[in-house]
Amino acid sequence: MLTLAVVFVLCVALYLYGTRTFTYWEKKGIKHDKPIPFFGNNARMYLWKKSMTQIGVEMYWKYPKEKVVGFYRAMRPELVVRDPEIIKQVLVSDFGHFHMRGLNTHQTVVEPLAKNLFLAEGDLWKLLRQRMSPAFTSGKLKAMFPLIVERAERLQNHAINAPPTGRVLDSREIMARYTTDFIGACGFGLDMDSLSVENSYFRQLGIDIFKVELSQIIKQMLKEMFPEACKHMKLFSKIENDANALVKNILQKRNYEPCGRHDFVDLLLEYKKKGKIVGQSIEKIKPNGVPEEVSLELTEEIIAAQIMIFFAAGFETSSSSTSYTLHELAYNPEEQRKVQEEIDRVLAKYDNKLCYDAVSEMTYLHCAFKEGIRMFPSLGHLVRKCTRKCTFPELDLTIDEGVLILIPVQAFHMDPLYFEEPEKFKPSRFLTDFINPMTKSIYLPFGEGPRACIGERLGLMQSLAGLAAVLSCYSVEPAPQTVRQLKVDPTSNGVQSVIGGLPLMFKLRSK
């Protein structure tokens, strides 16, 4: 009997622990689905049934009259935002309350590779952003552009190499190899040659970074359910050794000194030589309201984390965006013709050579790319974490420190309230101002505010150059195995990916 009583008490204690936060939204009068003990409303993500983006889209449409919807990520309250004004408040005007992404489940114990600009929180993020912003100026970008052109020409001549009768290729894979090679060149000064080498080490490393395994899902679930007990559990252990070995090898070859390549590694080494980064704290405020002064030393560990996020984010987001744009152009031949006519016309002005100025003039190509990332944004949702109590006056709602904010970007991008006929691929919509002024607040393929993507211009130019290189020589059509309505991989909780790739027929153009 005593054993049964102990088991009963343990079961009750576990149940109470696993449901202890589940009255949060009810008390605040916010509509929400009924949560499940421990899992909250997130069971389908943990079970690989739906990605976080897909769940965000579902919640967005399930409560069409609400400005916000309650959600529980495991046991942590999360607010799904459906209102453009609240998005502006979270991302821009009240940024001081929402400067954290909240993707690290523990505030003080952060694994080495998570100390990168994308995942870093608080003062670590602020100081890194402060020091690294000059690396992405238009001048630096223009200097890198010959490296983009060189890889784009390889893409034309070697990777695709399609005859007039056509060749079926996975556009996602081809564009991933192109962007991998460019990031290798401008980031590390390395000729990765993923476009020519089938089993390129760097392409495989890129695949491994984004390949989700069951063990990672379990770890993520446990870290979200038991953040204190699982704080030392690593999510990036699968690639940590390879990543550190790669970075160490690059740094040793340069003798830990800038070597004159002016690539991303050189910039980081130059920043390290400047000494500690010093700035005002975003976390620590003196009693008189003035931020404290904080500093950061760029250790090898932190440099390694920046190099790996530059590699991972640089190739995966661009390859997703460019391949989806090609997919839509294949199904919209009239739009493809307009894009190709512009590319031909602009290149004729520049002796048929790709260059920075030429790509900058390709307005309709830019519109087509913007439309592609509207319909299928690489990051289909944004997450922020409330760092101190914050009130949304129009809702008479106050949320507490630690509450997450989810912005369902994919859902906003496909809402007819903001985009007329959102299911149609219409690049021309980006030639003029939007009918609904709020559209600018919800078009968020690169985020918005101080934590917007630092590499937006670099990603944009490498994507446009890759598309221009392909479409100047080839036309794309649906292949026999192409699926019109793509099936999103439910395990892709970072950059969205699709099941089965994006096969297309590439045909050599006759000009």
Say how far apart CA 469 and CA 415 lie, in whole Å.
32
Among 474, 415, 404, residue whose Cα is nearest residue 443: 415
Which domain CATH number covers 489?
A: 1.10.630.10
How many residues would you count in the chain? 511
Among 346, 343, 322, residue whose Cα is nearest residue 509: 343
Select, from the ranges 163-172, 206-215, 352-361, the one with the highest average predicted confidence (pLDDT).
Answer: 352-361
Q: Is 11 annotated as a binding residue?
A: no
For 138, 162, 194, 327, 448, the CA distances from 180, given in Å and listed in that order, are: 21, 21, 7, 20, 26
pLDDT of residue 1: 61
User: Rounded to 5 degrees, what are φ and ψ at 440?
Assistant: -65, -25
Average pLDDT over residues 284-300: 84
| For residue 106, pLDDT beyond 70 | no
Measured from the Cβ of residue 278, the count of other Cβ atoms closer than 10 Å reads 12
Beta bridge partners of 168: 505
pLDDT, one tens digit per residue, over 393-415 is 989 999 999 999 999 999 999 99
For 283, 286, 388, the CA distances from 289, given in Å and listed in that order, are: 12, 5, 15
Q: Which residue has the tokens 């744009």?
A: 325
pLDDT, one tens digit per residue, over 228-259 is 777 767 776 677 777 778 788 888 888 878 87
Six token digits for residue 463: 């994507």
Q: With bands split at pLDDT 50, 70 and 90, how would you rate the model's confidence at 87?
A: very high
- Burial label for 508, CB within 10 Å (0-12, 13-18, 19+), is middle
Whole-structure pTM value: 0.91
Six token digits for residue 329: 């152009």
| For residue 200, pLDDT beyond 70 | no
Select, from the ranges 44-48, 139-143, 309-313, 357-361, the one with the highest average predicted confidence (pLDDT).
Answer: 357-361
Six token digits for residue 148: 């983009």
Give how many domains the chain has, as a whole number. 1
- Contact by Cβ (8 Å): 406, 78: yes
Domain that holds residue 227: 1-508
Q: Which residue has the tokens 């009810």?
A: 26
Least confident window among 147-161, 172-186, 196-210: 196-210
